[in-house]
Amino acid sequence: MKLHGKAIVVTGGANGIGRELVLALLKSGNKVAAVDISMEALNETRNLAGDAASGLSLHTVNLADKAAVEKLPEEVIAAHGSVDAIINNAGIIQPFVRINDLSYDVIERVMNVNFYGTLYMIKAFLPHLLKRPEAQIVNVTSMGGFLPVPGQGVYGGSKAAVKLMTEALIGELSGTNVTAILVMPGAIATNITSNSGVEVPQMENGKKSSIKPLPAPKAADIIIKAMEKNKTRVFVGSDARTMDILYRINPNFAIRFITKQMKSLLK
């Protein structure tokens, strides 16, 4: 899909990959509806957009609120006249603790935002997307959605659910005007931990992770290029691609490897 003059919804548009997607899409001549729970952060995104902000609308929505999400298509169409794509980018992680130590409140919050929020968006917008000459649903999951990460078991479960749902959509929408795209990022340099209200524990002896996060603007660029090529399966970062191969070849080894990497964070 040629990304110029399109109306695109981006959830989590106030920070990280979402913000970079909003800015890049505006720069290339699209209209964007940026969705987030924080109007203050959305206004920062608008300020960063400069002159291109004339094509931007801001929408404060709690994605876990089904009724609020169901009202969003009408608001977006009122602002931009149509909707050609949705990018379900918003997500939160859990505290770095074992499932046994995770409260049900946290579990439900993670599932409500990551899985149900994505599902609500799809259900709300798909009827409108099916009316367009060409449209897309882009679901951003995570490397943790195909590779089990100790200390992020429920987060991974929520992203695995989105992954499988997206793969089902790829099949269900085959032969229609709508393309479903599955995006699987690895480590990206964003502030998802603070936005999730999570602190990252210190690693042993002050060690730093050997994985160098991909800059968020680069991640956004990869996603946009995949959209323009109508790719249905996209890895963002060499770590995601490498771990996907390793997990498919030898799942047990991959689990032991990632468990060793997380060990010092799970004391």
Domain ranges in the chain? 7-265
pLDDT at 189: 83
Q: Tell me the pLDDT tens digit for each residue of 128-169.
A: 999 999 999 999 999 999 999 999 999 999 999 999 999 999
pLDDT tens digit string along 63-75?
Answer: 999 999 999 999 9
Lookup: tokens for 142: 């995570």
| 3-state DSSP assignment of residue 174 | coil
Residue 265 has pLDDT above 50, yes or no: yes
CA–CA separation, 181 vs 166, rounded Å?
A: 7
Edge-to-edge, what's the strand order for the sheet holding 233-236?
56-60, 31-36, 7-11, 85-88, 135-140, 178-185, 233-236
Burial class, 111, CB count within 10 angstroms (exposed 0-12 / middle 13-18 / buried 19+): middle
CA pair distance 11, 89, nearest whole angstrom: 5
Q: What is the mean pLDDT of residues 91-108?
A: 95
First to last CA, the chain: 47
What is the CATH number assigned to the segment(s) 7-265? Answer: 3.40.50.720
pLDDT at 213: 86
pLDDT of residue 69: 98
Residue (of 44, 18, 114) closest to 32 by Cα position? 18
pTM, 2 dp: 0.92
Q: With cut-offs at 50, 70 and 90, classify the pLDDT of residue 183.
A: very high
